[in-house]
Amino acid sequence: MSTDYQALAKQMVARAKKKGAKQAEAYIEVGRESSVRVRDGQIEDLTQATSKGAGIRVFVKDRLGFAWTSDFTTEAINSSVDRAVQLAEAAAPNKLNGLPTKKQLGAPSDVGPLFDEAVANLDPEWKIKSALEMEKAGKAYDPRVKTFDSVGAGDHVNEVYLASSEGASNGYQGTYVYLYAMPVAADGPQLQTSYWVDYKRFLDELDAPEKIGVEAARRAVRMLGASKVKSQKVPVIFDPMMAAAFVSGIAAAANGDAVFKQSSFLASKLGQSIAPKNVTLVDDGLMKRGLGTSPFDGEGVATRRTAIVEQGVLRSFLYDTFTARKAKAESTGNASRGYRSLPAIGTNNLYLEPGTTSPEELIKGVKNGFYVTAMLGHGANVVTGEFSRGANGLWITDGALGKPVQEVTVAGNLLDMLMAIDGIGSDLTFRGSTGAPTIRFAELTVSGE
């Protein structure tokens, strides 16, 4: 870890204080990434990039000022600090403005290693070879896989440093590596696309390229011949990827700012039962090797595990420091940011805890229903709780996956959908920082013909 950047963050804070800021916080990001895309056995694109930047947040008489720069010369750094102070002096005051106190910051959480030397030193040849292997494996799976919209691999190395006048002075390094494949399957005039992806912090946990290519191809091929079905109310199952999108919508409604503004359907539900007892939704900034794991959040507050829904009961909303002050609550360590932005509420590692039933058993329990593997459109309205998305997938007949279905809509109300969960799979899956197992709803509206 470079002590120079940590020292620079402290210098920025010291200058802001000298220029009249009552409080100051510097946030520095340094990163590098590389990626490769291939098409038809040839390299289509190979990129490498580095980035760095510093943001400075200051408070002058309850007035907020913020500026950032990607130029690390002394002149540019000093200029950005001075500009932040000037902006604060001209801003409107708000008595709730201010940085987290030393007590609120807490000691950085012990989250274990987030940095993998194998990823940091990954040979470009590995990415090229992996991308070609995915494409080759996908095409070999079925002759109807004609081409790939995109197939590639990449890695990212980042460093974060934070210092504040309230006592924060910390940093960490992290890595992640990824593979993705988006095949196109054709049968006569019909084309079907799908995708599969894997993201991991550590190279030894990443799925094999052949596995990604085959799974992506399988998902595309099984949709060939897809058609609509008649509109009806039936049991609906979301595969883990779609279940993860669903729980993201619930977490968005648990955003403390939306709740404070009464623009969330969960605003009045704290402490109430909103789902069956087997439903526990967690935001965990401490998860070992998680993509959303960090020792502290975007304003230096120690990360933690927060149960949003616990055994069906809504237990907590997510807060950063400013929103927590408004709501007379405590920050949950969910301030998310980059060096070019002010902190805002985000999630760390969000997931629905798995059940004990296999996904196959969940499907076997449905005589006539819909297994959703892809969704289109915006989805959930966190204000009203209304949910409506275009969906593709497979029809379930007598407990088995059958004909492919497309161009239908799955609709419901998020509160009703939560209460309608009657099965949770044992297959908790992360393809990013949000994870979920297969989930089954007793009944939802499927609109088609």
What pLDDT, in 10s, does the model give residues 127-176?
999 999 999 999 999 999 999 999 999 999 999 999 999 999 999 999 99
| Torsion angle in degrees (nearest 10) through CA of 432, 435, 438, 443 | -110
Identity of the residue numbered 416: D
pLDDT in tens, 22-60: 999 999 999 999 999 999 999 999 999 999 999 999 999
Question: DSSP readout, 285-307?
Answer: TT-TT-TT--SB-TTSPBP-EEE
Kindly give the pairing relationship between strand 169-187 and strand 145-164: antiparallel
Per-residue pLDDT band at 3 (split at 50, 70, 90) = low
- Predicted pLDDT of residue 449: 83
Phi, psi (5° rounding) for residue 269?
-105, 0
The CATH number for 127's domain is 3.30.2290.10
| pLDDT at residue 1, rounded to an integer | 44
Residue ending a domain, choose from 162, 194, 221: 221
Residue 2 has pLDDT above 70, yes or no: no
Q: Would you say 162 and 300 are in contact if contact means Cβ atoms under 8 Å apart?
A: yes
- Together in a domain, 232 and 193: no
Among 179, 206, 221, the domain-final residue is 221
Residues 370, 233 share a domain:
yes
Report the percentage of the chain scoring pLDDT > 70. Answer: 99
Q: Which domain holds residue 290?
A: 226-449
Clarify whether residues 131 and 263 are in a common domain.
Answer: no
Lookup: tokens for 282:
């967690």
From the list 430, 246, 433, 258, the residue with the least C-alpha distance to 344 is 258
Least Cα distance to 334 among 315, 310, 306 occurs for 306
Dist CA 146 CA 138 (whole Å): 9
User: Are 233 and 109 in a shared domain?
Assistant: no
pLDDT at 259 exceeding the cut of 80 = yes
User: Does the pLDDT at position 265 exceed 80?
Assistant: yes
| Number of domains present in the structure of the chain | 2
Q: Report the predicted TM-score, pTM, of the whole model to 2 decimal places.
A: 0.94
User: What count of residues does the chain have?
Assistant: 449
Say if residue 201 is in the same domain as residue 245: no
176/246 same-domain check: no
Pair (383, 263) in one structural domain: yes
Average pLDDT, the chain: 96
Q: How confident is the model at residue 380 (pLDDT cuts 50, 70, 90)?
A: confident
Same-domain pairing of 317 and 445: yes
Both tokens of 208, joined, read: 């094999």
Same domain, 202 and 231: no
On whether the CB atoms of residues 226 and 371 are closer than 8 A, the answer is no
Please report which residue ranges of 185-335 form alpha helices under DSSP H. 209-221, 240-253, 256-260, 321-327
pLDDT at 378: 75
The mean-pLDDT minimum among 14-18, 187-191, 287-291, 421-425 falls in 187-191
Q: What is the pLDDT of residues 212-221, one digit of tens each?
A: 999 999 999 9
> pLDDT class for 379, splitting at 50, 70, 90?
confident
How does pLDDT run across 51-107, given as a tens digit for each residue? 999 999 999 999 999 999 999 999 999 999 999 999 999 999 999 999 999 999 999
Mean pLDDT of 219-225: 96
Asked if pLDDT for residue 268 goes beyond 50, the answer is yes
Q: Are residues 167 and 235 in the same domain?
A: no
Listed in sequence order, the residues at least 6 apart from 132 whose beta carbon sits closer than 8 Å to its beta carbon are 38, 41
Q: d(Cα 184, Cα 151) in Å, to the nearest integer?
A: 11
User: How far is it, in rounded angstroms, from Cα 269 to Cα 274?
Assistant: 8
| Residues 161 and 237 occupy one common structural domain | no
Question: Last residue of a domain, which of 186, 221, 256?
Answer: 221
353 and 436 Cβ atoms separated by less than 8 Å = no
Calculate the CA 199 to chain-centre distance. Answer: 11
Within this chain, do residues 303 and 282 fall inside the same structural domain, yes or no? Answer: yes
